[in-house]
Amino acid sequence: MIQKIEFNIPELDSMKKTPKSLNYIGNLKLLSKQKISIIGTRRPSSYTKMQTARLASELGRRGICIVSGAAMGVDAISHKNAKSHNTIAVMANGLDIRYPNVNKSIIEGIETHGLVLSEYEAGIKAAPWSFVVRNEIVVALGDILIVAEADLKSGSMRSVEFALKMKKEIVVLPHRLNESLGTQYLLKNNLAKAVYDIEEFCSSFGDMDSLKSDDFLEYCKTNPTYEEAISLYSDKVFEYELSGKIELVNGVIKIV
């Protein structure tokens, strides 16, 4: 169900124009977690896909909530690998519309277990101007901004402009010459830092308690359906069911 946020989100005060109100579906507790924004091209290289997945997964394991824009490419990879219960998707349209349709299942998963936000009322379709506003919210919510891959003239680089004005730390993946010219520009001009060791980079966030916690049992606290749990943790559902840690009640997983 679409609801209104009735309180101030401090992170959004860094925006040029703070949204008058936000609509949401999901778990508002994610707003209080440490958050990192990940953005990038809709058509990432194989290298970018792999490294973005690693980044989102490792940060998620450390209890960091990943924020992105639910678009194809880097956004979708970030949401998926952070796991639906540990990610915030900011939409450029009303929350009654799941756009883009290719990411419908990812968005539905975030609605159920994570948090979906939008400045726009139901029925409002995405437009060039609404993507710009969406991007500014994505940047504002994160403690830092990670740009996985970007062309010089792209929406991601427009988001970088927001990050610079907000004085956010910007981090990029290193790329080969003549690839991802946007992030290459940022490195060349000392506007960003590069991640050369993902494990080392991620270890500076979160805490060891998050790593020691059982990510699957944390997910089960959201009472997912059996099908949803299988799609994300197929290797653990049977193991935990056999060991008596979880049980299936009317198609929904419960912690014993």
Q: Are 171 and 149 in contact (CB under 8 A)?
A: no
Given this model, what pLDDT does residue 227 score? 86
Amino acid occupying residue 77? I
pTM of the model: 0.84
Q: What is the pLDDT of residues 49-62, one digit of tens each?
A: 999 999 999 999 89
Mean per-residue pLDDT for 182-196?
Answer: 98
Structure tokens at 191: 């506007």
Mean per-residue pLDDT for 166-183?
Answer: 97
Q: Are 87 and 110 in contact (CB under 8 A)?
A: yes
Domains in the chain, start-ordered, CATH in brackets? 3-210 (3.40.50.450), 214-255 (no CATH)
Residue with the two structure tokens 């069911």 = 241
- pLDDT, greater one: 241 or 137: 137
Mean per-residue pLDDT for 9-28?
Answer: 95
Given this model, what pLDDT does residue 195 score? 97
Q: Are 149 and 44 in contact (CB under 8 A)?
A: yes
- pLDDT, greater one: 234 or 99: 99
Of residues 86, 98, 89, the one with CA closest to residue 69: 89
Residue 208 banded pLDDT, cuts 50, 70, 90:
low
**Residue 118: strand, helix, or coil:** strand
Mean per-residue pLDDT for 137-143?
Answer: 98
Q: What is the pLDDT of residues 209-254, one digit of tens each?
A: 555 557 788 788 888 888 888 887 877 888 888 878 888 888 889 8
